[in-house]
Amino acid sequence: MDEPSTRTELKPLAVVTGASSGIGYELARQFCEHGYDLAIAADTPLAEAEQAFRSQGAEVASLQTDLATEAGVEQFYDLIRSLDRPVDVLCANAGEGLGHAFLDQPFERVRHVVDTNVTGTLQLIQLIGRDMQARGQGRILITGSIAGLMPGTFNAVYNGTKAFLDSFSFALRNELKDTGVIVTCLMPGGTETEFFHRAELDDTKLGTSKKADPADVARMGFQALMKGDGDVVAGAMNKVRAAIAAVTPQSRLAEMHRGMAEPGSGRK
Ligand SMILES: NC(=O)c1ccc[n+]([C@@H]2O[C@H](COP(=O)([O-])OP(=O)(O)OC[C@H]3O[C@@H](n4cnc5c(N)ncnc54)[C@H](OP(=O)(O)O)[C@@H]3O)[C@@H](O)[C@H]2O)c1
């Protein structure tokens, strides 16, 4: 007769960065709903989010840390390793924008955007991706953006970082195609989150226009990741915008972006 199992079956584990608000919060909720435990990080306190996810039945490990720094990413990875269980899903989602003219931006803020959106994101994907590759299993959802498909006049560095992530995501997906590790790029358009206020884009057309519900965006990201799709552009209008961007000259796109992100454009 088989010995009765003494260990209760572990739930799968999802790691979500930027889970304190917006799309990351909703992604974490999706994973709770689908029976995952969580390891989450953000750079402000996570107690409230943690409580919400626990009330959905998930075990939650969390860390308040700056993922723009190498030490911050390492601390988060240490926390994940201390759980002594495999990571089934990584949502590399934390990110920030920065409005206004590039030459007017303080360089430390420029660097923070690049280090959060690109450097820290890559570091965490490499650390967790190596573990997934060794196991021959795992799913990585990278939050890129349709902003990566166009030059981002008056949010120029941000759009550049998202162009990087959109491209990187497909390259990594191809590198890993025979390994059991799936990479999907979530490409939202304007979504109703803290993002625009934090990026000082409140008085722009981008900031004032109607936006998608982050819960819908997260649901689309979850579904695309589980289906194993290469990318998902969230929402019908954004699919149209992405298609237009693909056939429009860069200089024209840059001018169009000026109309949406120039300070004061939201008041016109
Ligand atoms: N909103 C949109 O229209 C839109 C469109 C396309 C793509 N996206 C992308 O979606 C992702 C989520 O943004 P969101 O719209 O949900 O905005 P959000 O509500 O501002 O959420 C951003 C999340 O990232 C975290 N974060 C930012 N910088 C961090 C850092 N250095 N270290 C640790 N955590 C950090 C924030 O943590 P704290 O709250 O603790 O600061 C927050 O949890 C970003 O990658 C963004 O580029 C957004």
How confident is the model over 33-59, as pLDDT tens digits? 999 999 999 999 999 999 999 999 999
Would the CB of 116 count as within 6 Å of ligand 1?
yes
Would the CB of 155 count as within 6 Å of ligand 1?
no
Q: Render pLDDT for 53-92 as a digit per residue (tens, 0 to 9).
A: 999 999 999 999 999 999 999 999 999 999 999 999 999 9
This prediction has a pTM of: 0.96
Taking residues 119-128, what's their average pLDDT? 98
pLDDT for residue 1 is more than 60: no
Name the pLDDT band for 268 (thresholds 50, 70, 90).
confident
Catalytic site includes residue 158: yes
pLDDT for residue 224 is more than 70: yes
Nearest CA to ligand 1 atom 17: 195
Taking residues 248-259, what's their average pLDDT? 98
Q: Using an 8 Å Cβ cutoff, are 28 and 102 in contact? A: no
Name the pLDDT band for 208 (thresholds 50, 70, 90).
very high
Q: What is the distance in angstroms between the CA of the first residue and the CA of the last residue of the chain?
A: 77
Would the CB of 21 count as within 6 Å of ligand 1?
yes
Name the pLDDT band for 7 (thresholds 50, 70, 90).
low
Residue-by-residue DSSP string for 23-69: HHHHHHHHHHHTT-EEEEEESS--HHHHHHHHHTT--EEEEE--TTS
How many angstroms is it from 201 CA to the middle of ligand 1? 14
Q: Rounded to an integer, what distance in angstroms lies between the CA atom of residue 12 and that of residue 9?
A: 9
State the average pLDDT for the chain. 96
Q: Render pLDDT for 179-205 as a digit per residue (tens, 0 to 9).
A: 999 999 999 999 999 999 999 999 999
Name the pLDDT band for 102 (thresholds 50, 70, 90).
very high
Taking residues 110-117, what's their average pLDDT? 98
Name the pLDDT band for 3 (thresholds 50, 70, 90).
very low
Catalytic site includes residue 36: no
Query: In the sheet that 89-92 helps form, which strands lie side by side, from edge to edge?
Result: 60-64, 37-42, 13-17, 89-92, 138-143, 181-187, 231-233
Nearest CA to ligand 1 atom 36: 18
Taking residues 204-216, what's their average pLDDT? 96
Residue 2: what pLDDT?
43
Name the pLDDT band for 9 (thresholds 50, 70, 90).
confident
Name the pLDDT band for 211 (thresholds 50, 70, 90).
very high
Would the CB of 96 count as within 6 Å of ligand 1?
yes
Nearest CA to ligand 1 atom 34: 42
Would the CB of 190 count as within 6 Å of ligand 1?
yes
Taking residues 194-221, what's their average pLDDT? 97
pLDDT for residue 28 is more than 60: yes
Burial tier of 193 (Cβ tally within 10 Å: 0-12, 13-18, 19+): buried
Mutation test residue for ligand 1: of 15, 23, 111, the one with most atoms within 8 Å of CB: 23
Nearest CA to ligand 1 atom 37: 42
Residues pairing with 17 in the sheet: 41
Residue 264: what pLDDT?
96
Measured CA distances, 94 to 56, 114, 142 (Å): 22, 12, 9
How many angstroms is it from 94 CA to the middle of ligand 1? 5
Q: Using an 8 Å Cβ cutoff, are 235 and 227 in contact? A: no
Residues 11, 36, 158, 211: which is the catalytic one? 158
Q: Render pLDDT for 151-179 as a digit per residue (tens, 0 to 9).
A: 999 999 999 999 999 999 999 999 999 99
Between CA 71 and CA 189, with CA 26 as vertex, the angle to 5 degrees is 90
Would the CB of 98 count as within 6 Å of ligand 1?
no
Mutation test residue for ligand 1: of 122, 194, 216, 257, the one with most atoms within 8 Å of CB: 194
Residues 162, 205, 210, 227: which is the catalytic one? 162
Residue-by-residue DSSP string for 162-226: HHHHHHHHHHHHHHTTTTTEEEEEEE--SBSSTHHHHTT-TTSHHHHS--B-HHHHHHHHHHHHH
Q: Which amino acid is at 142?
A: I
